[in-house]
Chains A and B, each alone.
Chain A
């Protein structure tokens, strides 16, 4: 009744090709943006920042990155954790090497460095594909973590082998370190997520995105109709790694404030991000956000439910969480292989016909 595009006429090409063609979608989007930028910073506290909002924002970026590579370009990657580590260590080296550098530049430069590393590890994708490529990305994962563990230059010879973020500012506002306010850190991440989300959406709608999808759907056919696999695959690895690198930099510098490579960027992180895009929806921007929200919230909800209500031990709650997560993955793959994003699309379709479905 409310959600209907009847009477919304498009009179220009710009209107026709906008991201949200239905006016109601735009209202909801701008309302969400207004809420996220104006209301949330006023009410945010430390718990919401550190356990829900920053994880959601950082993982959204990582999920967008992996979705570009796996969902849109069809190249399965299990090296997300390793690439996030590249972003984090690049940010660390830049922050400590150039103390005056603005955080915005640090984060973007970390993304660029990760993109370069990602493209190097993407080179095998030109010759191998599928599971074989997954093994190649595993090589990246283990090699990078080993590198950050072993080579003292990366962690500035600190005795513990850990890295911790010094206090740095973005446009004069402190965003990293203990003294950074919750709202500043949150807004800093939010701006990155919104701008890079838009950039990704537009990349995906354009020529490059279409060449990625052609490669995903059938690489040989794509090559025959004139898509250069070298350019398509390497650009997918580059762009994807850029997003993952920025996510890694924010993960380390703003969210955690410190990191130890084996724990923070292990293979589990790779799987978590992969789960996000499976549950959210492979090849869907909205899916990246929904999946990130789901995977961030599920453990918190389960933990609250199991530990606080049923008073189980934390270890048991952890085991049940793992089982639930696995079962959900299987359930989603069986019932809705296109993930939460498809469920949302179906719901919208229903809503358009409501209350007269025939």
Chain B
């Protein structure tokens, strides 16, 4: 009886559907021919790697949300901002990569200071929704400043990351994979490990976790909230720099970079707002889901509607949001998020 009622809960239904979907997928994979199977692997892998890129942006969100409860809408624009400064330093000033990256990092730290001093300090104890809207304003300011300083045309970014297809995958498995995306995955992995080591073993990292746990208790043992916020926003700026670098190397530094921020929202919903592993897993799910939807779901839906069969192209644009929406209805706190408890 209890087992049955658990099955009938939203999560039970969701899990059952997921299991059916996976079983069906595996069956299809096992029975299909080699070419289709290889293509499927290629699609999945490129989805996973695209997902890493989303994860990079989502990571910055999670860091800030955990430590200050601010939903930072400007994270995507911060990636654009960092990318603009990096290309600016490299192309206009002729700085080499090893110098341009620390310089940009310094700019991001200065930005974090400015944000804390000019914005956050004055909005302490405001409602989350007010802070959220303030970060929308912040996004506009950062975008405007970046454009004023460096102009708004698309800029190529070459930081010496490898390009083209990976020979290893192409020769060994007959699958086409971009080297750049593998590099991005490696960098993201290193970043996550570094961040978790930092928060686990350093003094500041412990302070960060204390603040994330309980603001007031952290204050009472002598942790300076303002300092912590500057540090967190600086780290988020650093993560944004990495994201800006990767996306910039992939498709040039341009405004559409800022729109990844919007794609990171469904990632966060899937992974939970407060979980770093969640940001990674969520990003991967969204990345793969989008690619699968574009390649497999689109044609299926077109076939379903029969006549005039090219409606369901570019469903990548909204699929992530709908996926997140469906997920929300089943598990509102995300995969790894803390359970939401509401009190009057």
Contacts and interface: CB of A to CB of B under 8 A. Distances in A.
B165 interface: no
Contacts of A319: 144, 147-148, 152
Contacts of A271: 136
A274 interface: yes
A127 interface: yes
B265 to A, nearest CB: 5
B328 A143 contact: no
Contacts of A220: 342-344
Contact of A139 (B130, B137, B325): B325
Interface in B311-326: 311-315, 317-318, 321-322, 324-325
Interface string B131-153: 01110111111111101100110
A260 to B, nearest CB: 16
Given A130-B128, A322-B144, A142 B318 contact: yes
Contact of A132 (B137, B262, B328): B328
User: What secondary structure prevails in chain B residues at the interface with A?
Assistant: helix
B176 interface: no
Contacts of B133: 274, 278, 329, 333
B122 interface: yes
Contacts of B315: 146
A323 B145 contact: yes
A297 interface: no
A299 interface: no
Contacts of A21: none
B141 A127 contact: no
**Chain A contact surface mostly:** helix
Interface in A105-137: 124, 127-128, 130-132, 134-136
Given A224-B344, A319-B148, A135 B266 contact: yes
A163 B199 CA distance: 54
A150 B302 CA distance: 12
A127 B344 contact: no
B126 interface: yes
B304 interface: no
B328 A124 contact: yes
A76 interface: yes
Contact of B143 (A142, A151, A322): A322
Which A-B residue pairs are the 5 nearest by beta carbons? A326-B140, A323-B144, A329-B137, A139-B321, A326-B141
29 contacts: A76-B132, A128-B329, A131-B273, A132-B269, A132-B328, A135-B325, A135-B328, A139-B318, A142-B318, A143-B318, A146-B314, A146-B317, A150-B313, A150-B314, A151-B311, A218-B344, A220-B344, A267-B262, A315-B152, A322-B144, A323-B148, A325-B140, A326-B138, A326-B140, A326-B141, A326-B144, A330-B138, A333-B133, A337-B126
Given A143-B318, A326-B137, 12 more contacts: A76-B129, A124-B328, A124-B329, A130-B129, A135-B321, A138-B321, A150-B311, A271-B136, A274-B133, A326-B138, A330-B138, A333-B130
Interface of A: 76, 124, 127-128, 130-132, 134-136, 138-139, 142-143, 145-146, 150-152, 218, 220-221, 224, 267, 271, 274, 278, 315-316, 319-330, 333-334, 337
